[in-house]
Amino acid sequence: MDKELIVFLNEQAQSLEKSRIKAVNLNRIYSVVKPLRKLLKGILIVVAVLNCIIPILLPVTITIGIMFLLTLAMNDPKAVFESNLKDNFLPKIFEKTKPNLSYSSYGYNNKILKESEILNKGFFADTIEIEGEDYTKGKIENIDVEFFEIKFHKEVTNYTKTAGGCLLSLILIPIEIFKNIFDNDNQPDDVFAGVIKDINMFYSGFFMYADFNKNFTGKIMMIPKQNENLKDKVDEIFTPKSLTKISVENQNINDNYSIYTSDVQTGYYVLSQNLIDRINILSVKENALPIISFIEGKIYFLIPWKKNLFKADIYTKIENENYFLNYIEEINSFEEIVKNLNIDRRIWSKA
Amino acid sequence: MNKTTAFITLIILTIITLPIFFITIPVFISIYNGLVRKKNQVEYAFSGVDVELQKRGELIPNLVESVKKYMSFEQNTLKEIVELRSRITQINPGSAERFSLENNLTEQLKQVMVTIENYPDLKSNENMLHLQRSLNEAEEQISAARRAYNASVKTLNDSIQAFPSNLFASIYDFTIRPYFIAEQNSKSAPNLKGLFN
């Protein structure tokens, strides 16, 4: 590392250390507030139910409700510290180490995600929410690139809560009936009875977009067989075939992937034997099968992973510039992906 | 399997499955049509190879013009390239001899590309750089076309040899197709001796 960078990182380290100490102190208070919050939530639910039978409990319900809301005002200091690192320190580090890349802590490029056509697959059909972070954009070796971490969420029936809700309804319905007999307002009250759904994350990964090193028209999709579901197979049989399925020379790839292309020769032109071998090596190294699409001269790459980029720990003391070495390595890993796939090799007609 | 055996086997199968002819007849039609589609796919892929070879051929005059002023010592190689190209345009496009000549041409072009490294002025020439990229592109497209052809040949050959489509293949004279394989001389690396003198 050069001297100027070391001086800069040292300054950042001192500033971040102050932030870390503050977070550690707040975390001591939070370690009390968090269980208290759960306890108050439980008490509030019980008191709210009892309030339906014994209306005089209303002031108690309100008091507990206010106390619960006050505990919500305190955010997790660990998350705040990490957020501070990503919002205020990482962009400056990117500027110093990789001036061709810009960074923002949250966000993703929805337009590029749609262009990739990865979301059209049945596996992602139930997605109701997408969350992106560590959005990096710019140029690597004059190649346009974008990277971000991405999480897909879908609604899942929570059978425990649904059963609990039904049980509660069984208790409340007779009470309501009994109450309505003696109630003169003729207004029926609502008693909730139904399926309770939670929003859960079902896929977490790392997305990359880059300008591919060959000119081509059409599309090629490499879908891991584990990510193909019944909807895709039914679509393949019953919808007009705009894509042809092909096999490549690497048996491991053929066993794990279904490869579709709009034109067979274009498919083999894009998926050279060299590229196929590199994808195979990358999937073995990461122990994961990426979903890859090549569309109109661009590559879109989504690999599942549970890593958290630029993670921050409030218990790790920040003494000097060495604290940031891990982060610089992670920033360099973006370039590594481009080089590993050989996208920076520009020896064909596309400069 | 010979034609007679295939025909007899098919007759026996038809008789056995007569009670469910409403299933077997569409299946037989589907098998025959599948063979026809695969055969056509092979011919289509073959024409793809031919198109890419033609495109490469069109780049050669430009290449020879660009390098001959600089590479006065490699005149024999350039002359051979021009002659090869001329012969290719005159013979039957589908003949084995044509592909042997194309492979020979590939080797000569590779040798020229390596030799260009000895001429810094030529190597940095804008036109030459563009030409190198175009030739690389052409070679990559030829490779892709050959792989696409081999894939379609594999699919056809699998159907010709596997049961029950082999019965129809024998009766209707569908034959096994050869793959594109590299010739022995093309498997050797280009001569780099000149680079280190």
C-alpha angle A183/A185/A186, rounded to 5°? Answer: 90
Per the listing, tokens 């992906």 go with A337
Is A214 part of the contact surface with chain B (CB cutoff 8 Å)? yes
Backbone angles phi, psi at A245, to 5 degrees: -85, 135
* Beta carbons of A101 and A94 less than 8 angstroms apart: yes
Cβ-based contacts of B182 with chain A (< 8 Å): none
Give contacts of A 270-289 with B, CB under 8 A.
272
Is B113 part of the contact surface with chain A (CB cutoff 8 Å)? no
Per the listing, tokens 């009250």 go with A189
Give contacts of B 31-50 with A, CB under 8 A.
45, 48
pLDDT tens string for chain B (197 positions)? 788 888 888 888 888 888 888 888 899 999 999 999 999 999 999 999 989 988 888 888 888 787 777 766 667 778 888 888 888 888 877 677 787 888 888 888 888 888 777 777 777 777 788 888 888 888 899 999 999 999 999 999 999 999 999 999 999 999 999 888 766 555 555 555 544 44
Cβ-based contacts of B132 with chain A (< 8 Å): 347
Is B99 part of the contact surface with chain A (CB cutoff 8 Å)? no
Nearest to A302 by CA among A130, A143, A99, A156: A130
In angstroms, the CA A142 to CA A122 distance is 35
At residue A248, the pLDDT reads 94
Cβ-based contacts of A269 with chain B (< 8 Å): 140-141, 144
In angstroms, the CA A236 to CA A244 distance is 10
Cβ-based contacts of A267 with chain B (< 8 Å): 148
Please list, in sequence order, all residues whose beta carbon lies within 8 angstroms of the beta carbon of residue B122, skipping any fewer than 6 positions away: B66, B67, B70, B71, B116, B128
DSSP H or E segment with residue B164: none
**Residue B55 to chain A, least CA–CA distance (Å):** 14
In angstroms, the CA B195 to CA B116 distance is 9
Three-state SS for A261? strand
Residue of B nearest to A346 (CA): B133
Q: Which of A89-103, A111-125, B25-39 has the lowest mean pLDDT?
A: A111-125
Whether a cis peptide bond, with omega within 30° of 0, leads into B164 is: yes
Residue of A nearest to B137 (CA): A348
Q: Per residue in B167-178, is it b (16+ CB within 10 Å) or e — as a string?
A: bbbbbeebeebe
Q: What is the pLDDT of residues A7-20, one digit of tens each?
A: 999 999 999 999 99
Q: Do A264 and B133 touch (CB under 8 A)?
A: no
**Residue A115 to chain B, least CA–CA distance (Å):** 25
Sort B184 into a burial class: Cβ within 10 Å, 0-12 / 13-18 / 19+. Answer: exposed
CB contacts < 8 A, A to B, total: 41
- Domain annotation for chain B: domains and CATH numbers: 3-196 (1.20.1440.20)
Sort B44 into a burial class: Cβ within 10 Å, 0-12 / 13-18 / 19+. Answer: middle
Q: Do A348 and B136 touch (CB under 8 A)?
A: yes
- The reply to whether ipTM tops 0.85 is no
* Beta carbons of B147 and B14 less than 8 angstroms apart: no
